[in-house]
Amino acid sequence: MEIDPRRLRVLREVHVRGGVMRAAEALHLTPSAVSQQLAQLEREVGLALIDRSQRRVSLTPAGRVLAGYAERVEAELSEARRELTRFTERLSGPVRIAAFPTVIQHVLVPALADLAAAHPRIDPYIHELFGPPALQELRLGSVDVVITEQDMSRPVLAQPSLSIRPLYVDEYRVVVPPDWPEPPRHVSELADVPWVVSEPHVAAGQALDRLAALHGFEPRKRHVITDFAPTLALVAAGRGVAIVPTLALLDVPEGEVMVSDIRDVGARRIDAVTRMSKTRSGEPDPVQAVVIDAIERATAELEASLSARLGQVPA
């Protein structure tokens, strides 16, 4: 009985994602190609692995057993790749990073330049993905590194299967339209104005809800925007006020928005998250390790120059 390990990976993806369509998306294949791989695997083992009697595709008992072995094969291949790096002075291979726009622009872009110079055979892929969907893809193995953000009032993400490296504490600022007579000095002055807000699962959205509860008012949430560029554009146009992290202000032209002097708004925590190693050695993947190191260096350089760069933004 010959079993192609590439088809085992297809079976594993169908199992962990609960269907052919989602497995096809994760593997960058068509659903038809996934179905063909599964059919070929069934011919190789001489057993039905997929229960096709119901509308929702599921694995047969034999399919679930083989999917368990597929998980172990994937772990062994990861261990083999890790061991083989000891025989070469140059690390190589793909690494998939999920992150959000401000970190992609201000941290990952310079980090990738550093990485390309030091390790030209490492092939990074950036996916703009954040929040619970990014962590889900990390657990399923579709991405290798996730850069997360979370309001500092929330507990640190703690899961035994994940490893967390703190990167940066990004202070929030309250921004108002540039034609205001003077910047607000206390949150109470903003109780009755319209807000440009983030989704509740985004750190800036969590910050506004926390701030409003602390000061006893219900914010008038006029516009709901996830990305900070359109948020700042709406504020500049006089459509509301907003809470934004400091990193979002780095590229704001002088005079476009007014940055308030309110400094008790809190901050967001930015972390790098990877899966805990399941290999016998327990050592982290060497490619992921050097990628994290490059991200940490870029973050440290950004932090060192942040005060000078923010001097261009009116406060």
- CATH class assigned to 5-85: mainly alpha
Radius of gyration of the chain (CA): 24
pLDDT for residue 315: 40
CA 16 and chain centroid, separation: 20
Q: Going residue by residue through the chain, which has 315 residues, state the pLDDT in tens, using 9 for 90 and above.
A: 678 778 888 888 888 888 888 888 877 788 888 888 888 888 888 888 888 777 777 888 888 888 888 888 877 776 676 666 655 556 788 899 999 999 999 999 999 999 999 899 899 999 999 888 898 888 878 899 999 998 888 877 667 778 888 999 999 999 999 999 888 888 888 988 999 998 888 888 889 988 888 888 999 999 999 889 999 999 999 999 999 999 999 888 888 999 998 878 889 999 999 987 655 555 567 888 899 999 999 999 888 777 665 554 444
Q: What pLDDT, on a 0 to 100 scale, did the predictor assign at position 85? A: 61
3-state SS record for the chain: CCCCHHHHHHHHHHHHHCCHHHHHHHHCCCHHHHHHHHHHHHHHHCCCCEECCCCCCEECHHHHHHHHHHHHHHHHHHHHHHHHHHHCCCCCEEEEEEECHHHHHHHHHHHHHHHHHHCCCEEEEEEECCCHHHHHHHHHCCCCEEEEEEECCCCCCCCCCEEEEEEEEEEEEEEECCCCCCCCCCHHHHCCCEEEECCCCCHHHHHHHHHHHHHCCCCEEEEECCCHHHHHHHHHCCCCEEEEEHHHHCCCCCCCCEECCCCCCCEEEEEEEEECCCCCCCCCCHHHHHHHHHHHHHHHHHHHHHHHHHCCCCC
| CA dist., res. 97 & res. 88, Å (int) | 24
Determine the pLDDT at residue 176. Answer: 95
pLDDT in the model for residue 314: 41
How many CB atoms within 10 Å of residue 177? 17
Q: Which residues pair with 171 in a beta bridge?
A: 267
- CATH 1.10.10.10 in the chain is located at 5-85
- Which residue intervals of the chain bear CATH 3.40.190.290? 92-315
Rounded to 10°, the helix 5-17/20-27 angle is: 120
Whole-model pTM? Answer: 0.72
Closest to 69 measured CA to CA, from 85, 51, 45, 46 = 45
pLDDT score at 312: 45
Does the domain formed by 92-315 have CATH 3.40.190.290? yes
φ/ψ of residue 25, rounded to 5: -65, -45
